[in-house]
Chains A and B, each alone.
Chain A
């Protein structure tokens, strides 16, 4: 069976099985993504693993995503002010105001027997801290991935037996991969010869943007007319 046929078959099986639960099935670049509601998550993942049509025996990857500031550019290129186009980028720190649907957890699954992949996304409706049930009982490899997502994004995995930080330093404060955590961090360390130990101090370097983030809607990628509307909106 070729790749496209496998993909179509999986898509059919997905719509047949999860018609009521899955909120969105989309495929881009020959990858299938489904979005699941938080309360159906574990049930969906378990049947993705156990039903022979899916047979997703391996959790390839699990990661957190912070959607704060998605689609916002630092440099406006569509419209000019009375003094012309802006010349550079004034750095603005992202401030979290509304936590609704800010965080998501993305699972990448692989079936070695059926040779197909799927991506499952669960958006977390509210809350700081965001809470997701653990899938450690479905795949054992979720253990460290969930610890990583907790460490970097502060997503809590309910039922995880050992939710400690994993990548950051002992005693680290904050969750560094959140979009409102500055790239340069909050503290710097140096050896203090007077105190005879390593000292933590507030960062002294100035944050700066070397290349501003620019969003350009390119007609070459305008495959289904989706981008047309956005360009008009941007111009208006």
Chain B
């Protein structure tokens, strides 16, 4: 009789539940996973090396393409590192705009996660519900930056421009009648802030709707409770951050513990889990949706009441306005130098971290005094989380691997960089 051997199973890289291009080599004993070996790097573009070859500002757009479902948060980490190196002050209004868009991004990310995680383990409706609300937030991105995803909106010293007074309107087409278009445009008749304000009013009811489908759902609980349990001590050892470590019961959130921008002035709570399983991490993220909504509401109120500059007046780093350029020689020179050579950053190194929807996103920049970074290292939260894959799925069934991939909220743009 032949010896009984473990069965090796290849999962991905082209698999709908692989969340992009994850290739997993699984060693199976029947239906139980003995060992998981994730193969990553199929989306490796060498972002950090590319950044070394161009002026600082030209890499902001690359940051959007790291974690491509939480674009502006990535930019935030990068520009904060540069601001730290140059000791640059950011106007308060720009700080509020950044916080507001960070939280919009958090909702965008968590909705994408909730939809995809639901879809992976059998809750099709979630995907449709989540994308309904994502559409509105994408419109906010579009209104402020002109693009729905890769915004390139944050700049060292502030943000590219102030919030617009009007929202883009829908046009009737062969897919949308005049009546449907009128209904959509009704909320878009005011400024961007009015539109976001309206969104914060109706969003809590949407979250309730998601919860009625999942939170007490028998099937959902069977698929997530006691799956992928991580103890708090182990979570620290494995370098977990964000919802992954909060799900294990450690109250760690950079927005509270090491506040940046205006988070110290805002009122919000940090949800934590108890058991450290997939279900707790689900509850943490859903509660974060509600808390982000609260933060956005506070930012909208402040921004409506306080107009002001949105980018630093330091024209060695931030370009002067077009009108200044027309009649001021020095502004003209500043503009020319900034857009041909860029600015030189003083010699030194800095690490700046933000509480990204997935965890701690940090940028480590070494500058040798040039107009390009000498070395840029992106600390992606998903990289540390995915490295714990083997430990989290060992002893679980094959179907639970999909639940663990979902709960880790992996996006390969940032893991492979």
Point out the residues of chain A lying under 8 angstroms from B48, CB to CB. Answer: 177
CA distance A119 to B348 in the complex (A): 13
Max count, chain A CB within 10 A of own CB: residue among B239, B371, B374, B416: B239
Closest B residue, CB atoms, query A143: B387
- Flag the segment in A15-23, A36-44, A162-170, A195-203 that touches B: A162-170
CB within 8 Å of A: which of B228-249?
236-239, 241
Point out the residues of chain B lying under 8 angstroms from A73, CB to CB. Answer: 370
Distance of B59 from chain A, by nearest CB (Å):
12
- Flag the segment in A63-71, A78-86, A122-130, A186-194 that touches B: A63-71
With an 8 A cutoff between CB atoms, is A141 at the interface? yes
Q: Are the C-beta atoms of A166 and B258 separated by less than 8 Å?
A: no
CA distance A112 to B347 in the complex (A): 29
Q: Are the C-beta atoms of A183 and B50 separated by less than 8 Å?
A: yes
Closest B residue, CB atoms, query A110: B360
CB within 8 Å of B: which of A68-96?
70-71, 73
- Given A29-B85, A33-B349, A59-B239, A168:B44 Cβ within 8 A: yes
Where the two chains meet, the residues of A that have a C-beta atom closer than 8 Å to any C-beta of B are 3, 28-29, 31, 33, 57-61, 63, 65-66, 70-71, 73, 106, 108, 112, 115, 117, 119, 139-141, 143-145, 148, 165-169, 176-177, 183, 209-211, 213-218, 220-221, 227
Q: Sort A-B residue pairs by CB-CB distance and give the 6 closest, nearest first.
A: A141-B239, A221-B346, A144-B387, A167-B41, A61-B379, A63-B377
With an 8 A cutoff between CB atoms, is B308 at the interface? no
Q: Of the candidates B49, B383, B386, which one forms a contact with A177 in the assembled complex, judged by CB atoms under 8 Å apart?
A: B49
Q: Are the C-beta atoms of A140 and B237 separated by less than 8 Å?
A: yes
Q: Are the C-beta atoms of B369 and A71 separated by less than 8 Å?
A: yes
With an 8 A cutoff between CB atoms, is B123 at the interface? no
With an 8 A cutoff between CB atoms, is B199 at the interface? no
- Given A71-B368, A211-B55, A220:B41 Cβ within 8 A: no
Q: Are the C-beta atoms of A112 and B236 separated by less than 8 Å?
A: yes
CA distance A57 to B245 in the complex (A): 13
Q: Are the C-beta atoms of B369 and A63 separated by less than 8 Å?
A: no
Point out the residues of chain B lying under 8 angstroms from A28, CB to CB. Answer: 348-350
CA distance A71 to B347 in the complex (A): 9
7 CB contacts below 8 A, A to B, read: A28-B349, A59-B239, A70-B368, A70-B374, A183-B49, A214-B370, A215-B371
CB within 8 Å of A: which of B373-417?
374-375, 377, 379, 383-384, 386-388, 416-417
Q: Are the C-beta atoms of B387 and A216 separated by less than 8 Å?
A: no
Closest B residue, CB atoms, query A66: B375
Distance of B312 from chain A, by nearest CB (Å):
13
Q: Are the C-beta atoms of B40 and A167 separated by less than 8 Å?
A: yes
Additional 13 contacts, C-beta under 8 A, given A144-B384, A167-B41: A28-B348, A28-B350, A31-B349, A60-B353, A61-B379, A106-B377, A168-B41, A177-B48, A213-B370, A214-B341, A214-B370, A215-B370, A220-B316
Point out the residues of chain A lying under 8 angstroms from B388, CB to CB. Answer: 141
Closest B residue, CB atoms, query A74: B370
- Given A61-B362, A61-B364, A106-B364, A112:B86 Cβ within 8 A: no
- Given A29-B84, A61-B364, A216:B236 Cβ within 8 A: no
- Given A60-B379, A61-B379, A119-B351, A139:B237 Cβ within 8 A: yes
With an 8 A cutoff between CB atoms, is B54 at the interface? yes
- Given A60-B239, A61-B362, A108-B379, A218:B344 Cβ within 8 A: yes
